[in-house]
Amino acid sequence: MSDAKRIAVLLSGRGSNFESLLKASRNDSLGGDISLVIANRPGAGGLKIAQDAGIETALIDHQRYASREAFDRDLAATIETASPDLVVLAGFMRILTFEFVARFENRLMNIHPSLLPRYPGLNTHQRALDNRDTHAGATVHYVNGELDGGPPVLQARVPIHANDDAETLAARVLQVEHQIYPEAVSWHLSGKLSFRNNLLYKDDNPVPLTGCLWEGDR
Ligand code: GRF
């Protein structure tokens, strides 16, 4: 096995965030290689993208498992075959068990399409519109036992326009997702992020409770 850092990606759907990570790894801005892509749904578009890119894939269909625990055990065992430095959730639509999260503690990241801690869970864009928020965004965070509740790493804000609906807003947010996920992953892989007394630091600075604020390409 080479010395390059290794990433395992878990996804359930179209895989555009995975694709943004793949692009970054191919142009050497990620600091690691995507070694394995695992999907829990046979039709996941992200699986095809991975196969076409020559990346090892696995399909672990949750519908074939009697319990969440049994699914997560197989998922963890498959992930371990790749010895990843980081496990990345990229639109992985399954709630993970506490045991799974504990096993990959501090090396499990997710991206969520809202300005956490606002709007954990589903339908984030419609909820932001219903509340007449002026801004929406996306947050990359480490995963802990709470739904979308782990420590934020990096957050990007976008304006909400008067004529937005959930679809137009989602598209605007997705554009920044594709920028901040590779950035946060590269921070992890290059050792910039660390936990001290349960608090997250980037280099020697405490990370704000909503994550570092993304200021665009520098
Ligand atoms: C993204 O909006 C992500 O924030 C959320 O699920 C969606 C996945 O999209 N967790 P894609 O499959 O990466 O295109």
Q: How far is CA 64 from CA 15, 132, 164, in A?
A: 22, 41, 39
Q: How far is CA 27 from CA 46, 80, 131, 209, in A?
A: 19, 26, 40, 31
- 147 vs 134 pLDDT, higher one: 134
Q: What's the pLDDT tens digit per position in 193-212?
A: 999 998 999 999 999 999 99
For the chain, the domains span 6-213
Fold of 6-213: Rossmann fold (3.40.50)
* 169 pLDDT above the threshold of 80: yes
- Report the pLDDT value the prediction gives residue 135, as an integer from 0 to 100: 98
Closest atom of ligand 1 to 46 CA is 12
For residue 185, the CA-to-ligand 1 centroid distance in Å is 15
Please name the residue ranges forming H helices in the chain: 16-26, 45-52, 68-80, 98-103, 124-130, 166-189
Active site members: 112
**Any ligand 1 atom below 6 A from CB of 114:** no
Residues near 133 by beta carbon (within 8 Å), at least 6 away in sequence: 118, 160
Cβ pair 137, 173 in contact under 8 A: yes
Q: How many CA atoms lie within 13 A of 155 on its CB side?
A: 18
Closest atom of ligand 1 to 20 CA is 13
* Number of DSSP helices (H) and strands (E) in the chain, helices first: 6, 11
**Any ligand 1 atom below 6 A from CB of 91:** yes
For residue 28, the CA-to-ligand 1 centroid distance in Å is 23
